[in-house]
Amino acid sequence: MRIESCSVTAGAYMRRLCMMVLADNWLWMVLPVALCGVLAVWVDVRFIIVAMMVLLIVLPMVLALLYMYYGFSPQARWSIMEKVVDVDEHGLTLTFADERMKKHAIAWDDVRTIIEKDDDVLLLLAGKRYNFLMLPASTIDPDVAQALRQLGA
């Protein structure tokens, strides 16, 4: 089976990545700000300044590190570039429209799970925690989606 000419935008990829990270780590981002808010009420008002520093300095730096670590990964490049995806019983083969890129094969053993979210299909890959190949669901016909579910399981 073949998925013809598909790619996602860089913004869509980073939005999905940020949503995944925030869904897993929202408590660690809210807890310091909430703790400083409580300390500002009970101890000293200057803890509001510390909360603002955490909110406006530390959290954007964490998001910048996230962008650098995962946004420049090969999987992000594979998702963003125009490609043709061949699906068979061995895995997926990515053939890129840009002649400078080589073909890349992803075995089914490397696919941890397949997630269908809104208008995207995420193939979570082995390795790093937020390592995924993102395909637009609009380019995948129902037969290929069914085959992905069966072969990926």
The 10s digit of each residue's pLDDT in 54-95 is 889 988 898 898 889 988 999 999 999 999 998 888 888 999
* Angstrom distance (rounded) from CA 118 to CA 126: 23
Q: Choose between 152 and 82: higher pLDDT.
A: 82
* Angstrom distance (rounded) from CA 99 to CA 68: 26
* Angstrom distance (rounded) from CA 105 to CA 113: 17
* Angstrom distance (rounded) from CA 74 to CA 54: 31
Same domain for 113 and 102: yes
State both tokens at 20.
Answer: 């995944």
Contact 14, 71 (CB under 8 A): yes
What does the longest C-alpha to C-alpha distance in the chain come to? Answer: 64
Same domain for 38 and 89: no
Same domain for 119 and 63: no
Same domain for 81 and 116: yes
Same domain for 81 and 148: yes
